[in-house]
Amino acid sequence: MNTLTAEKTDTFCDIAAQRKTRNESAISIKNLNVYAGDHHILNNINLEIPKNKVTVLLGPSGCGKTTLLKSLNKLTDLYKELDVSGNVFIGADDILNSNHNIPMLRQKMGLLSQKPYPLPVSIFKNIAYGIKLKGVRDKKLIAFNVEQKLKEVGLWYEVKDRLHSSADSLSIGQQQRLCLARGLAVKPQIILADEPTSALDPMSSKIIEERFRELKKHYTIVIVTHILRQAQRLADNVVFMHYGKIVEQGDPEAVLKNPQSQQLKEYLVDGF
Amino acid sequence: MISRDIQSKFTGSWMLVALAIILLFPLIIGLALLLKSIPLLNNSSLTSLLFSGNWAPNDGVFGFWPFLYSSLYVTILSFIFSAPLCLLAAIYLTEFASDKLIRIMHPVIDILAGIPSVIYGMWGIIVIVPLVGEWLAPLFGITSSGYSILAGGIVLAVMCIPYMLNMLIETFKTIPYGLKEAAFSLGATQWETVKHVLLRKGRPGIISAFGLGMAKAFGETLAVMMVVGNVVQITANPFKAGYPLPALIANNYGEMLSIPLYDSALMFAALILLIVVLLINLIFRYFIIAANQAK
Amino acid sequence: MQKGKIFEERIFKVLTGAACYSLIAILGYIIFIIFRKGFSSLTLEMITQLPSGGYYYGGEGGVLNAIAGSLYIAGGATLIALILGVPAALYINSHLIRYKRTQNTVRYILDSLWGIPSIVYGAFGFTLMIWLGMSASLLAGIITVSFLITPIVIRSFDEVLSTIPIGLQEAALSLGFTRSQTAFKILLKQGFSGLITAILLAFGRGIGDAASVLFTAGYTDLIPANLDEPAATLPLSIFFQLSSPIPEVRERAYAAAAILTIIVLVISLSARYFAKRYSKGNLK
C-alpha cells in the first residue's frame, strides 16, 4: 500500500495528508524539484499517479501545478530558465534522466493545453502527424486511425467533408477536440490536460468533460484545473498543491468535503 | 504668459505637422525625381529606357537595361549567399544556443549593422577581390581581375546579414510556445519541431525577411561600387565586371551637367531605385501584417 | 527509422551552429583586417592635421578636415532629425494612442521609409540644392543626411515609447494634463534612455553614409567655417584616398578607415548599453 505524505513540517501537512491510494501507478514522481533562478517552483514533490483514474491537480495560481504537469513529459526542456532535478518514472523509464529517446517516451503521454494549438496544417495532417512520427507509412492505416480518433472525440461527422482544409478554420471548441484527437492518435497510456476547458464555451467544455469520462476507462488522466466543480465531477483522485508543495491528496469525497489543512479550507471557501 | 491651452495646441500641431512632413517624404522625393526625369521621358519611350542595352549618353541614347541587369544579378547572388546562412543561424539562436552565445550575438549583429558601406567596400577590395581573382576564378579556369559581380554579391551578402538575421529572429520569437509544446508531446524532436512548426508557421516572416534583405541589397551603393568593376556590359559570367544602378548614379554625377539629358537620366535611375525599393518594402511588410491578421 | 532522425538532428544542429559561429568569425575578420592595415599607418597627425597641398600625392597632413566635416554633418543632421522626429514619435504614441489602425499604418509607412537607399536621398538632395540655388555645402549635406536619418530616429524612439504602459498616460490625463503635456512630460521622460539609443543609432548612420553626401556636401581640405562652405566627410575621404595610385596614400586610407570604424564601434556599443539601461531602470 502506498501512502503518501507531504514533505516539510508545515502546519498540517504530515498527518493530514495521509490517504490511501491504489496500487498500480502509471507515473511515479520522486523528489522532483524545479527552480527558476532562486524561485523554488516545485519543492520536493513525491507523488504516485494511479493508473486508469483521473487525477486532478488543484490549487491557487502560482502553486506550480502547471509546471508539475509539464515536468511529467519533460516539456520543461523548452524553457531554458528552468532547472529540473528528480525522477519521473513512466513505467520503468525515468523520463527526466533518460539518455535516449525522450521523444518516444513523450509519446506515452498526450498533451492537451489550455488554448488549442493546432499545427499549421490541415485537419487530417494534424492527427496524422503523431502517427507518422511513429514511423507508420501505410496510407490506409493512417486514414483509418485519423477517422477513428476523430470519432472518439465526436468530431468526425462535423469535419469529415473537409479533412484537408486548414485546422484554423475550426471553432475553438472544435480545435480543442482536434488537439485531443491528435494527442490520442499516438496511442498514449496517459493524458495530460492543462486547464483544458478554461478557454472554451460551456457547450464545448461539457463535450470535453464527457470525453474525459469515457476516456478514463482506457487511459490514465492527469488534469490541472482551477474549476472546483470540474474537479468534483471528474476526479477519482485529488491532489491539492500550495506554493510548490503537495498539501493534501486523496479521494475527492474525502478531500473536498473534509479538508484537513488550513490552506485547502481557505481555497475551498473561496472556490465554492 | 501664453496660456497652457494655446501652448499645448501649438506643440500639438507641431507634432502633427512634423509627422505629416515625414510621411509625405517619399511622395515629395518621387515627384521631384519624376520632374527631373521628364525631359528624358519626353525624349524616349519608357520601354526603350528600361529594356534597351544601348548606353551611349554622348549620343543621347540611354538604355538602362545593363544596369538593371547588373543590379538584379548582384542582388540575387547576395541572396543566395546570405539567405541560407541567416536562416540557419537564426534557427540556432532561437532553438539551440546557450544564453551566453545569444548575449554575444546581439552586439555582433549591432556592430555588423553599423559598419559603414565604405568600410565593407574596403574590406571587399582587400579580401574579396583577390579571393575571386586569384583563387576562385582560376578554379573555374577563368581569368578575372577580381572586380566582378561575384565580388559584389559576396560583399552585399555580408552587408545584408544583420538585417535579415534580426528579422528572422523576430519572426521565430513570435511563434507561441504552446505550438512547440504540442509538437514535442507528440514525439517530435527539436529539429522536427523546427521543420514542421517553426518554418511552417514562420513562413510569411521568413519570406518577408528575405524580400526586405534583397531590397536593401538592391539599393546599396558604395560598397558594391568599390568591388564590382563598373563596366557597362551584360554577361552571365559572374567573374566579369558589372555596373549596378546605384553605382551608375554615384560614378557619374560629376558629368551630369555637362552632357545633355544626362542629369535627367541619372535622376530617372534614382527614381527607378526609389520605386523598386519602396514597392518591395510596402508589399512585403503588408504581407506580414496580412498574414498575422489571418489568425 | 530512429537512427535516421537522430542523424538528421545532429547534422542540422552542427550546421546551424556553424552558421552562427561563422557570423562571429566574419565580423572578427573584418575588424581585424581593418585595424591591422589601419593601425600601422595611424599616427597622431592623421587625426589632428589638415591635409597639406601635397597630401594626396604622399605629402604631409591628416584627415582632420574629414573628421570635423563628418562630425558637423552628422551632428547637424541629428539635430534636425530630433526636431522633426521626437515630436512625431511622441505624437504617434500619445495622440494616436486610441487609433490603432492609424498607428499601424503610420508605422508601416515609416518602416518602408527606412529602407530607401541613401543614394536616392543624395539625388533628391542634389535636385533640391540646385533648385534652391545652393552649392555643394555643409548645409546641403546636413539637410540631405537629415532626410536619411529622421525615419531612424522616429522608429527607434517609437519602438521604445510603445512599451510604456498606457495606464501611465491615462493617469496623467485624468489628472488634467493635456495630450501634448503628457507626451512631453511623461513619455519623453520615461523613454529617455530609448531616445539616447535612437540618437546614437541615427548619428552613427549619419557619420558613415557616403552616398547621401556624395553630391551634396562637396569636398575640401579645410574645415568648413560656415554653412555654405563645402565639407569633407570621412567615408568620402577614405574612398578618394583608396582610389589613389600612390601606395602611401592608400595606406592612409586604411588608417582613416580605422578611425571611422572606431567611431562606429563606440557608437554601436554605447547604443546597446543605453538600450539595456532603459529596460532595467524603468517603470514596469
Residue C164 has pLDDT above 90, yes or no: no
Same domain flag for B23 and B107: no
The predicted structure's pLDDT at residue C280: 56
C22 at the B interface (CB within 8 A)? Answer: yes
Is B269 among the domain residues? no
- DSSP H/E element including A30: strand A25-36
Which of A66, A109, A113 is the mutation pick for testing B, counting most B CBs within 10 A? Answer: A113
The predicted structure's pLDDT at residue A13: 42
C23: cell is: 557570423
**Structure confidence by residue, pLDDT tens digits, A200-237:** 888 888 888 888 888 888 889 999 988 888 888 888 98
Interfacial residues of C (vs A; Cβ cutoff 8 Å): 1-2
Boundary residue ending a domain (B252, B267, B286): B252
Report which residue type is found at A153.
V
Report which residue type is found at C219.
Y
Distance CA B233, CA B230 (A): 9
Same domain flag for B68 and B147: yes
Place of cell 565604405: B118
**Structure confidence by residue, pLDDT tens digits, B253-287:** 888 888 888 888 999 999 999 999 999 998 998 88
Looking at residue B228, which CATH number applies to its domain?
Answer: 1.10.3720.10
Is B277 among the domain residues? no
Subunit contact B281:C115, Cβ cutoff 8 A: yes
- Contact residues, chain B, for C176 at CB < 8 Å: none
Same domain flag for B147 and B222: yes
Range of the domain at B36: 4-43
Is B273 among the domain residues? no
C215 touches C231 (CB < 8 A): no
Same domain flag for B112 and B235: yes
Is B290 among the domain residues? no
A101 at the C interface (CB within 8 A)? Answer: yes
Of the given ranges (A7-16, A253-262, B1-10, B96-105), which has the lowest mean pLDDT? A7-16
Subunits with 3+ C-beta pairs closer than 8 A to B: A, C
Pick C240 or A258 by higher pLDDT: C240
Same domain flag for B161 and B35: no
Strands A54-58 and B55-56 come out as unpaired
A258: cell is: 473534509
Same domain flag for B238 and B105: yes
CA dist B149 → A229, B78, B228, C50 (Å): 71, 10, 5, 37
Percentage of chain B with pLDDT > 90? 51
B61: cell is: 541614347
Distance CA B129, CA B147 (A): 6
A187 at the B interface (CB within 8 A)? Answer: no
**Total domains, chain B:** 2
The predicted structure's pLDDT at residue A256: 79
Subunit contact C1:A101, Cβ cutoff 8 A: no
Is B236 among the domain residues? yes
**Structure confidence by residue, pLDDT tens digits, B108-149:** 998 999 999 999 999 999 999 999 999 888 888 888 888 999
Distance CA B292, CA C212 (A): 35
Place of cell 577580381: B146
A97 at the C interface (CB within 8 A)? Answer: no
Nearest to A80 among B99, B179, B196 (CB): B99
List, as ranges, residues 245-274 from C with C-beta within 8 Å of B.
Answer: 253-254, 257, 260-261, 264-265, 267-269, 271-272
A138 at the C interface (CB within 8 A)? Answer: no
- Contact residues, chain C, for A104 at CB < 8 Å: 2
A259 touches A229 (CB < 8 A): no
Same domain flag for B131 and B215: yes
What ipTM does this complex have? 0.89
Distance CA A101, CA A98 (A): 8
**Structure confidence by residue, pLDDT tens digits, C194-220:** 899 899 999 999 999 999 999 898 888
**Structure confidence by residue, pLDDT tens digits, B184-232:** 999 888 898 999 999 999 999 999 999 999 999 999 999 999 999 999 9
Instruction: Of A231, A220, A218, A224, give the one whose Cα is nearest residue A196.
Output: A224
Is B289 among the domain residues? no
Same domain flag for B12 and B146: no
CA-based radius of gyration for chain A:
19
Same domain flag for B74 and B213: yes
- Shortest Cα distance from A213 to chain B (angstroms)? 22
Subunit contact C90:B15, Cβ cutoff 8 A: yes
Instruction: Of B65, B73, B70, give the one whose Cα is nearest residue B244.
Output: B70
**How many Cβ atoms are within 10 Å of A139's Cβ, its own excluded?**
9
The predicted structure's pLDDT at residue C141: 93
B36: cell is: 527631373
Q: Kindly report the CATH number that applies to the domain delimited by C48-280.
A: 1.10.3720.10
Same domain flag for B170 and B203: yes
Please give the average per-residue pLDDT across B73-84, as a whole number.
Answer: 95
B67 touches B269 (CB < 8 A): yes
Subunit contact C120:B277, Cβ cutoff 8 A: yes
**Structure confidence by residue, pLDDT tens digits, A31-51:** 999 988 888 888 888 998 888
Residue-wise DSSP of C38-69: HHHH--HHHHH----TTGGGT-S--SHHHHHH
Q: Report CA dihedral (B208, B293, B192, B87) to the nearest 10 degrees.
A: 20
Same domain flag for B88 and B138: yes
Same domain flag for B68 and B37: no
Residue C265 has pLDDT above 80, yes or no: yes
Nearest to C180 among B12, B96, B97 (CB): B12
Pick C281 or B252 by higher pLDDT: B252
CA dist B114 → B135, C76, C206, C260 (Å): 30, 19, 10, 11
Is B176 among the domain residues? yes
- Contact residues, chain B, for C119 at CB < 8 Å: 219, 221, 246, 249-250, 270, 273
**Structure confidence by residue, pLDDT tens digits, A163-175:** 888 888 889 888 9
